[in-house]
Structure 1
Amino acid sequence: MRAAVVEGPGRLKVEQVSVPEPGAGQIRVRLEGCGVCASNLTPWEGPEWMQFPTEPGALGHEGWGVVDAIGEGVADFTLGDRVAALSFKSYGEYDISEASAAVKLPDALAGQPFPGEPLGCAMNIFRRSDVRAGQTVAIVGIGFLGAILTRLATDAGARVIAISRRPYSLDVARQFGAAATIPMDDHWAIIEEVKRLTDGGLCDRVIEAVGKQWPLDLAGELVREGGKLIVAGYHQDGPRQVNMQMWNWKGIDVINAHERDPDVAMQGIREAVDAVASGRLDPSPLYTHSYPLERLDDALNATRDRPDGFLKALVTV
């Protein structure tokens, strides 16, 4: 089979490697595609802790495809089932998944891409955010995750203020239900605009979905007293400083909404399957770019550089 190997910082090749065999409790998935996650970017840059070359297919964890081999003791899947899998070598033609880490995709999703991990992540972050009807919710950073959270919060009856760097992202936020949008360019001007939009009361919930220091600082400023700050961005480039005096004074709850319990992660993916299959959530406009496996490097670079019109890359196999 073909599988991508990262040879060094910013360098990739596609190798021919042996097709893996599922063990007890596992299934093999013939992959149709895999989403490209922004968490791949730090390893792609080659930090000191990164080891090269990667294992074939490594870094890919948003795969979906068809079950084509079943290990001993697996009773919940049959050959030909279409699934989304939470596995970790999905930048290739096949990957092995624990049967407990795969979710069947219903006929309503036939032919549709389904990167289960980020969709499930969005559902779990939304649940942790405790958004309720009538609240004002600021979402700082409108990428794939921020756009989905905008739709979920709007559908829950909240008023969403979307804050993002790119005009394109703000257009997407409006399409996904944002009541107001603010360019993310001037720290104090953003705060004043949010105060204006909320009659000085600020926001019941603020979801930071960027993973950088400034958006986290900004998010803390936008939460009202007694509100909740939800950290949804993936902060992987070093320590952060926070204005603890302000956080203390406001008495806010700060929620790190990244789930590490596999059972909770799978719950989110199942909820995402139900939401998309029922038509309550349509992520298809967010899949803006598609690349063959041999161009995974281009997909990673586009995820880093975010050219105009880019939101989410998929690698197809």
Structure 2
Amino acid sequence: MSGPARSIVVERPGAFRLVEAERPDPGPGEVRVRVHAAGVCASDRELFDGTRPADYARYPVVPGHEWSGTVDAVGEGVDPALVGRGTVAEGFRACQRCERCRAGEQTLCTAGYAETGFTEPGAFADYLVLPARLLHPLAPDVDLTSAALLEPAAVVAAAVLRGAPRAGERIAVLGCGTLGLLAVQLLSAATPVELLAVDPRPRPLELAGEMGATRALTPEQVGEGPGAFDLVVETAGAPGTAADACRLARRGGRVVLTGVPEPGALGLDPVLLLVNQLTVAGIFGAAPAAWSYAVHAFNHGLLRPKKLVSHQLSLASFGEAMRLVGSGDPEVGKVLLMP
């Protein structure tokens, strides 16, 4: 099926254009998705600014790794029953053959980095073509706009699976941006006796309380007392939050780092790690198991991302989306492009 299709192409850092071309056709093992909504995040801004590490970007590129849509066409060898199905999909293009992939650690694939929206064409477009094996079809009655946040939700799900929360534990979340608020929702389902959310901004703290946090405090209110939390999930990526997360954990506690810090962030205190016998894990991306967990939670109403969306813009408003994401305005939540 032919016809026009628009996409945003970032030619090089700081330079983009809205282009129109023939609608792409799926090849063998591929599907074409009609994009419903695509989220804009800080990593998209890094790609646009040229501050993303060179190994994790390829120009020119169509950005967009957070998205939802409907399967529009299938290639040879793909089940035609998928046509018309709402879906999201994994972004990492793991090889499925190396030792790490065989162990279920696809985000550690040794074949080299490839990801939708960074090295492969992404979803800031009317249509997206990708391997069918990456799809996670959605329940028929879910909100496709909210589903565009399932990529960050999958990253959070990976952190929750790694942190292994148990009922009755004391849990803290550092950072109440998109990742942090999604973490609050998933962790509240584990029935902690306490779920603390920490952020310097009033509005995110208010949302954290609405989404399941039992306490929502600024870093100043938390202070630097002895750690008391069984599990701490860090999502902010601020210069000092990884170190803060370790200080919040009790002796023998668990810390999961998901926020990507900029160069120059504070290191972790090896004496604290050793003496307190902390278990510290890092999360970068989401393997298929985490995607399945996030989609299951979303399909059954445990994840409710809609309140996180603050702006819905047209595809032609990409420049405005970049301005909003980089503005630092605390009232800017998740920005969506709606092709």
Gap change, CA 1:247 and 1:48, over 3 Å in 2: closer
Contact 1:22-1:71 at 8 Å conserved across structures: yes
Gap change, CA 1:27 and 1:48, over 3 Å in 2: closer
Tell me which of 212, 222, 229 is aligned to 2:248.
222
Tell me which of 182, 205, 210 is aligned to 1:170.
205
**Percent of aligned positions with the same letter in both sequences?**
27
Distance in 2 separating the partners of 1:216 and 1:38: 18
Specify the alignment match of 1:253 in structure 2.
279
> Offset at 1:85?
2.3
Distance in 2 separating the partners of 1:275 and 1:240: 34
Specify the alignment match of 2:9 in structure 1.
5
Specify the alignment match of 1:78 in structure 2.
82
**What whole-Å deviation, never above 9, does each CA across 1:159-218 have from its counterpart, x for those lacking one?**
11111121111111111121112213x4xx6334xx4xxxx5521111110123211121
State whether structure 2 residue 90 is matched by structure 1 residue 55.
no
**1:91-170 equivalence runs, <5 A:** 91-109=124-142, 111-115=144-148, 116-158=150-192, 159-170=194-205
Distance in 2 separating the partners of 1:216 and 1:204: 16
Q: Which runs of 4+ in 1 moved over 4 A?
A: 48-53, 236-240
Gap change, CA 1:214 and 1:76, over 3 Å in 2: farther
Distance in 1 separating the partners of 2:138 and 2:321: 25
Count of aligned residue pairs for this structure pair:
303
SS in 2 for 1:107: coil
Tell me which of 3, 18, 26 is aligned to 1:22.
26
Specify the alignment match of 1:267 in structure 2.
289
Distance in 2 separating the partners of 1:300 and 1:156: 36
Distance in 2 separating the partners of 1:229 and 1:298: 36
Distance in 1 separating the partners of 2:75 and 2:294: 26
Query: Which shifted more, 204-213 or 299-308?
Result: 299-308
**What whole-Å deviation, never above 9, does each CA across 1:75-101 have from its counterpart, x for those lacking one?**
274322221123511111111111111
Distance in 1 separating the partners of 2:206 and 2:34: 36
| Aligned partner letter, 2:237 | G
> Offset at 1:244?
1.2
TM-score after normalising by structure 2? 0.82
| Aligned partner letter, 2:27 | G
SS in 1 for 2:60: coil
> Offset at 1:234?
2.2
> Offset at 1:272?
2.4
Contact 2:7-2:19 at 8 Å conserved across structures: yes
Distance in 2 separating the partners of 1:309 and 1:84: 27
Gap change, CA 1:148 and 1:138, over 3 Å in 2: same
| Aligned partner letter, 2:243 | D
Distance in 1 separating the partners of 2:271 and 2:289: 36
Specify the alignment match of 1:301 in structure 2.
323
**What whole-Å deviation, never above 9, does each CA across 1:24-82 have from its counterpart, x for those lacking one?**
1110111111111222232222138559983342x311122121221111127432222
**What whole-Å deviation, never above 9, does each CA across 1:249-305 have from its counterpart, x for those lacking one?**
111000112345xxx3x3333332322222222111111211111112222332232
Specify the alignment match of 1:205 in structure 2.
231
| Aligned partner letter, 2:47 | P
State whether structure 2 residue 300 is matched by structure 1 residue 278.
yes
Query: Which shifted more, 72-81 or 172-181?
Result: 72-81
Specify the alignment match of 1:182 in structure 2.
217
Gap change, CA 1:222 and 1:76, over 3 Å in 2: farther
**Aligned residues: CA RMSD:** 2.4
Distance in 1 separating the partners of 2:264 and 2:19: 33
